[in-house]
């Protein structure tokens, strides 16, 4: 079986370049054919992109996360379109809104989010969305601002009612290791009701480790456990569901089958 990790903070798993490359290779041995590397800041992006340049299994997203929205951001609007020109950059993000951590005032976060959506439209790329208790605002913004190539709700945390509304948009719903936890009825209910062709999976490593590996730092090589639970919830054979998830990932990021 083959897997596509649509969201992994490779640079946070290890600081050392060799260890980062080894993490990619261990994931490959577990069947994870591709990984999208996520960096929360442009400074981190430069370093991680350089470290992983030789890893053909890795794609990249570029953006400024809500966690950085309170910092002084100089020149980011012109830098992102330049970084998009680099090989294997396939998405803008992660971006979005976080009303839990209060990294910056809501108005500041909204402005940053909308600018990312505009860049995604201009560069003809999908956008990866971070959403923590900001669903209503995000949905309102996406209704008029979503880029032509669509969006991915990463580490999905809303309920079925939100997903049902969002299905009218060109979006995918990505689930992380927390879907394997007990007592998460909101998420399991959403997975069971979502069309299979709209579901993705991610490691969100080094966070959101699947229950089987609890108390460890998460790694992309653990991703098959998330796929297994998704297949059980959907009532679809594991091999068939895993292949659906893989092909959904290619479609979400507009990649060829031979990617």
Residue 65 to residue 70: CA distance in whole angstroms: 10
Can you give the pLDDT at residue 138? Answer: 98
Asked if residues 166 and 131 have their Cβ atoms less than 8 Å apart, the reply is no
Cα dist from 8 to 28, 95, 133, 146, 204, whole Å: 14, 14, 21, 23, 5
Burial 67-98 (b: 16+ CB within 10 A, else e): ebbeeeeeebeebbeebbeeebbbbbbbbbbb
Angle value at C-alpha 194, between 101 and 203, nearest 5 degrees: 50
Asked if residues 27 and 251 have their Cβ atoms less than 8 Å apart, the reply is no
| N-terminal to C-terminal alpha carbon distance within the chain | 16
Tell me the pTM. 0.96
What are the phi and psi torsion angles at 30 (to 5°)?
-85, 0
| Exposure of 2 in the CB half-sphere (CA atoms within 13 A) | 14
Mean pLDDT, each 10-residue run in order, the chain (259 residues): 98 95 97 96 92 96 90 85 97 96 91 97 98 95 97 97 97 97 94 98 98 95 98 98 98 89
Can you give the pLDDT at residue 101? Answer: 86
Can you give the pLDDT at residue 72? Answer: 64
Task: With residue 125 as reference, give the H or E element that holds it.
Answer: none
Q: What are the residues whose beta carbons fall under 8 Å from the beta carbon of 250, sequence distance 6 or more?
A: 4, 256, 257, 259
């Amino acid at each position: 079986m083959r897997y596509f990790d649509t969201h992994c903070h490779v640079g946070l798993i290890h600081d050392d370049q060799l260890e980062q490359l080894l993490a990619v290779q261990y994931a490959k041995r577990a069947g994870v054919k591709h990984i999208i590397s996520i960096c929360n800041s442009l400074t981190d992006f430069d370093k991680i992109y350089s470290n992983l340049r030789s890893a053909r299994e890795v794609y990249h997203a570029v953006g400024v996360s809500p966690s950085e929205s309170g910092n002084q951001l100089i020149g980011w609007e012109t830098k992102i379109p330049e970084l998009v020109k680099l090989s294997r950059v396939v998405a803008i993000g992660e971006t979005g809104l976080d009303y839990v951590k209060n990294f910056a005032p809501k108005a500041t976060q909204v402005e940053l989010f909308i600018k990312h959506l505009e860049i995604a439209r201009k560069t003809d790329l999908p956008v990866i969305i971070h959403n923590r208790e900001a669903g209503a605002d995000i949905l309102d913004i996406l209704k008029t601002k979503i880029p032509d190539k669509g969006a991915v709700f990463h580490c999905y945390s809303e309920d079925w009612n939100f997903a049902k509304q969002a299905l009218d948009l060109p979006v995918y719903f990505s689930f992380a290791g927390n879907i394997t936890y007990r007592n998460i009825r909101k998420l399991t209910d959403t997975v069971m009701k979502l069309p299979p062709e709209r579901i993705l999976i991610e490691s969100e490593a080094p966070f959101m480790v699947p229950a089987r590996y609890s108390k460890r730092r998460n790694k992309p090589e653990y991703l098959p456990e998330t796929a297994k639970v998704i297949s059980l919830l959907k009532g679809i054979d594991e091999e068939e569901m895993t292949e659906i998830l893989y092909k959904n990932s290619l479609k979400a990021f507009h990649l060829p089958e031979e990617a």
